[in-house]
Chains A and B, each alone.
Chain A
């Protein structure tokens, strides 16, 4: 019996059409736009100005708040300006505009392919270096990694869980990374274990990636305390709390962090970034992005510099198909539709999915028939139909009591609704409102 989480979940079509494509390294783009806020928390403060010359890997903005992450230049060249751009979330935010000249990397970065397994840094030094190198959660949530590694007073980390689930349909970035950089990921895992002071790490991979499972299992034999577990395919298994439940059987309490149950979860992409940061002195300025879609000429996995416009990736994958209805940043379940193809790749961009016109339309909305499918599908045990009504009626307190803040916006309810109700939209709206009310209370 393969492990999985018990409550709710759905099975969207997997459509992992780019799974067989090796990661292709793209040359730096002629122009990049590097947003200052690429992680959860406060945006970084810029250290460069118009006219500054930068090298690839150079720190260009410093994260000064507790929850904030450093930003590095992904190319060498000249800063044109610091100005607003639309980022994937749809908001106008500050970004550093750089015109690329050549590709001159900082001398401190080790660009050789040799794999370095040993590290004599202490836990504190590892965490400090992860902070310096601007590492954030690569699965999409972009939580600054150094913060995650600092275990709060009175809590104890027992297990490091590494997320290799990639439960979103279409996306194959993590899958390819495990196949091609498996050993580096495992070194990254041991570094994270050292930083946390845990003796055990479990890498969870869904069994629709048998090649990745056997490859990682084989490699893990030479890493002490690291175990690879195959999981039954079910969306949203890549969600932190669901993954912990699937692997350990522990349930993170409502509104609490995984550390409550002694777990810390990191993505395989993050483990790889940690390896490069610690062992190769390389800041986080590039990542693997899956560019895919039903009608796309050649769905691909690219190693892309942060700040590269999405349009360039689409060109490299065969150009925008004529009947494209939506460009989604992230996976089709939780990703966001972009309002322009000029939006740059960020640290959390795991994929670009081009949805054909006929699939991009929403179902016609009908009356709720109280079938209860959304209730059965919700992995958090909520009642989306009820929350929709409460939000629609502006009953914020009732919505809070119905635990709207537990919603992680996985979209299972919307996916399963036979009447095409925009449940997720109401939930997001309600979370926003209720969140404001909760924050104003503590002031």
Chain B
């Protein structure tokens, strides 16, 4: 578990650089409330030995903070944390028993409960020391969606979008932990290298998004934006490496993991391109979380000695 925390450090540093105080407070509030809620629930509701030492509540806290705008009111984050830990995780029996990713479920809960606060994104750098009334702007995916709706051409929209360099570094509007593709990739590759995660889910997820959006782009490049934009925009890389790979809520077999990743990819693109939200990573992963038990039931590992002709 501590390996995951370490893998999140580069993205944390980037978010501190771009969003400053707001990012610091959000992460502190989310981590503290997640750990506190888990402690209180185990001690006073379940009357068990508290399980906070396993570090999983810390990860949920960091990931929840990563998925919200940096200037979110602190009490909304507390409510999100309570939902994530108490309802999504502990009510099912704690670590290992929750069917859904707690951080993502907490994020979606907040998105539905506080739609305005959850979708006003402070601009990077200039809001480092601003906590209220920050200058906000849309995310890249938001700009795309709004432009499409008002009937602008893709080339008109593209001129308003950040360039790929800034999207890689994270100098864009967005949730505080999702902005920098490079920082997240460093963490992801570290986890792959340390064998904390396997390559199956992130690779199949990212590849599916790339291929699906690539096909759309090839069919009509005036209507659909290029696949590289889709890879770098929004929470895709954060989701593919840190949320979809959550071992508790993803399949057990490698074959199942590949199907899971492809499913996440298809759903993400469907929501982004044709859905009512500009971003679909959270919903896609949560939906595939719900499919996981089914995948575990029907996708079996290749048995030794099964397909051999005697």
Contact = CB atoms under 8 A, between A and B. Distances in A.
A binds B: yes
Interface of A: 7, 241, 245, 250-254, 256, 260-261, 366-372, 375-376, 378-383, 385-386, 403, 406, 419
B303 A381 contact: yes
Contacts of B96: 366-370, 419
Contacts of A260: 310
B115 interface: no
Contact of B252 (A245, A253, A385): A385
A405 B218 CA distance: 52
B54 interface: yes
A252 B252 CA distance: 25
A383 B301 contact: yes
B305 A256 contact: yes
Given A241-B305, A370-B249, A380-B303, 10 more contacts: A250-B308, A251-B304, A251-B308, A252-B305, A367-B94, A369-B96, A370-B248, A375-B253, A375-B301, A386-B252
B149 to A, nearest CB: 41
A24 B305 CA distance: 41
Contacts of A382: 301, 303
A367 B97 CA distance: 8
Given A7-B304, A251-B304, A372 B310 contact: no
B93 A381 contact: no
B295 to A, nearest CB: 11
Given A253-B310, A366-B54, A367-B96, A372 B251 contact: yes
B254 A376 contact: yes
A372 B304 contact: no
B300 interface: yes
Interface residues of B, number: 27
6 contacts: A251-B308, A256-B310, A261-B310, A372-B251, A381-B301, A419-B96
A369 B301 contact: no
Interface in B254-305: 254, 257, 296, 300-305
B90 to A, nearest CB: 12
Contacts of B296: 386
B302 A372 contact: no
A357 to B, nearest CB: 24
B247 interface: yes
B52 to A, nearest CB: 13
A3 B246 CA distance: 34
Pick the 6 closest A-B CB pairs, nearest first.
Answer: A367-B96, A372-B252, A371-B247, A381-B303, A369-B96, A251-B308
A369 B303 contact: no
A314 B94 CA distance: 46
Interface in B76-133: 93-97
Nearest to B253: A375
B305 A372 contact: no
Contacts of B252: 370, 372, 375, 383, 385-386
Contacts of B300: 383
Contacts of B304: 7, 241, 245, 251, 254, 379-381, 406
A248 B37 CA distance: 56
B289 to A, nearest CB: 11
A366 B51 CA distance: 10
Contacts of A245: 304
Given A367-B93, A372-B253, A254 B306 contact: yes
Contacts of B305: 241, 251-254, 256, 380, 406
A376 B310 CA distance: 25
A367 B249 CA distance: 14
Contacts of B308: 250-253, 261
Most interface-central of B250, B303, B306 (chain A CB within 10 A): B303
A251 B247 CA distance: 31
Nearest to A368: B96
A339 to B, nearest CB: 31
A7 to B, nearest CB: 6
Given A260-B310, A372-B251, A378 B97 contact: no
Contacts of A376: 198, 254
